Amino acid sequence: MRLLARILVFMALPAALCGCGIYTFSGTSLQPDIKTIFVANLENRAMQINPTLAANLTEALQDKYRRFTKLEMVYDEADLEVTGYITGYEVTPTAVTADEVASRNRLTITVRIFYKNNKYPDEAFPGGRSFAAYQDYDSTNSLDSVQDVLCQQIIETLVEDIFNATVAEWR
């Protein structure tokens, strides 16, 4: 009898946690009446342009919301809106040799994101918020030879940070 009671409690626990409507195992904390999201195509306003960066970042953001929330992706009148633009794409030296030559470089990408929650406006950051991520690489490599891999790693970090700041409330 005790075993049966333990089994029932164990089986009911996940239903109870999900039943409250706010907590989910994906880490999001959305109110149950939030159903739709719009993620706009990000514009690239950086001084140095990577031609595929804006499209890749936009696609990764949209994919993150599709995979880790139950939100429907729409293009008008959404409960949540994520818009923004790329503000920086910069390479800077991070380590210098005795000959004053860079031995390591850092690629930094910065974006400005505007998040609007049409149902709960106090949860938004309509004035925008900047997010930045970087990856270091050996200066014996040209940026062209490592750019794709670095950008993919940076995009993953940016998407995680943006996702957490918007729907996971890790602000």
pLDDT in tens, 4-49: 455 555 555 454 444 444 344 445 678 999 999 999 999 999 999 9
Domain boundaries, the chain: 32-166
**CATH code of the region 32-166:** 3.30.160.150
pLDDT of 126 reads 81
Q: Give the pLDDT score at 20.
A: 43
Residues 6 or more apart in contact with residue 119 via CB below 8 angstroms: 31, 33, 34, 79
pTM: 0.81
Contact status, residue 134 vs residue 108, Cβ threshold 8 Å: yes
SS3 103: strand
pLDDT of 95:
80
Least confident of 3-17, 18-32, 94-108, 119-133: 3-17
On the question of pLDDT at 165 being above 60, the answer is yes
Amino acid 24: pLDDT: 40
- Average pLDDT taken over every residue of the chain: 86
